[in-house]
Structure 1
């Protein structure tokens, strides 16, 4: 392994470990059930694949150079996070109006989680994917970060694919 790849692994590990929207939605769904947490994490990894594919293809540069498109992605991402927040508040309100706390319904993992019910792995997978894919900062981060770790004289596409794979694998771990 070369020094730039080792340095990138450290940077990528720090980037993946920082709490953010992805972390929040994975933890919330993992509190509902283990399967939902794993499905959400897989969805996040799928979103990372979208960003890395865009970075490899150079399309993420368009988001930087076309402010209206970047703003649209920001608004879509913000709207989705708002939807998740409203869903969580609605579920919490419903739980209190049903007169039950965790003691009232020990059989329902989603009620104990305090968030919107996660009814199946498909929904959790979709939540993880959308949370990551609609994050407007991710393509800019990938666009600015990945090229820094491509050595001079090396073809950028294979190296960028390797770096993208590292990020996705670290996210899955």
Structure 2
């Protein structure tokens, strides 16, 4: 188990990263405004699954290989950037389409989008290769500590996304308007494309 002070320190260290708007928050806003707050769950689950994937990869040493191989890192970075750009273009296109009263997205599709957006983000992997080791004690079981810190990270981002979901739900009267949904969809599309371009240039 991780020491409480180490968990608290890690939480404070990763908080600015969680609070920085990224693909997960963009997907949450886009899907919740389009289909209601029930779509928040697959976004949260996809993001959290991605965090645990990075933690497991870090344990297996695969993330270290990617981070220390410029070619492998470039492949992951470009794959993630291409996915975000493609998702952004798709989001923009679907926002411009007329919406049927019974149209809704499948939760599995939303989950996959959030999962891939996190897994294909090399910066998320770098958290478990550069930040996490600072809070791990050599004398204690390594795997348990990594997974405990990943749980802290997952709980923090779940709470952060839940807060945004509550804020969006309070504005439900505005969210129901098709014009507002189209604007949010287009803004989300632009943000995802910008995030993809920035990831490719980083």
TM-score range, shorter chain: 0.7 to 0.9
Give how far 1:107 is off.
Answer: 4.0
Q: Which residue of 2 aligns with 1:20?
A: 22
Q: Which residue of 1 aligns with 2:43?
A: 40
Structure with bigger helix share is 2
Deviations 1:115-166, CA, capped at 9 Å, x for gaps? xxx5111111111111111112111122101100013433322212211111
Query: Tell me, which stretches of 5 or more residues in structure 2 are unaligned?
Result: 160-202
Query: Is the contact between residue 77 and residue 120 of structure 2 (CA under 8 Å) also seen in structure 1?
Result: yes
Displacement over 6 Å in runs of 4+: none
TM-score normalised to structure 1 length: 0.80
Question: Aligned partners of 1:91, 1:162: CA distance in 2, in Å?
Answer: 39
Give how far 1:50 is off.
Answer: 0.7
Query: Is the contact between residue 7 and residue 152 of structure 2 (CA under 8 Å) also seen in structure 1?
Result: no
TM-score normalised to structure 2 length: 0.69
Name the count of aligned residue pairs.
156
Query: Is the contact between residue 132 and residue 149 of structure 2 (CA under 8 Å) also seen in structure 1?
Result: yes
Q: CA RMSD in A?
A: 2.1
SS of alignment partner, residue 129 of structure 1? helix
Of structures 1 and 2, the larger Rg is shown by: 1
Query: Is the contact between residue 31 and residue 37 of structure 1 (CA under 8 Å) also seen in structure 2?
Result: no
Query: Is the contact between residue 56 and residue 161 of structure 1 (CA under 8 Å) also seen in structure 2?
Result: no
Question: Aligned partners of 2:50, 2:144: CA distance in 1, in Å?
Answer: 20
Q: Which residue of 2 aligns with 1:58?
A: 61
SS of alignment partner, residue 143 of structure 1? helix
Query: Tell me, which stretches of 5 or more residues in structure 1 are unaligned?
Result: 96-104, 111-117
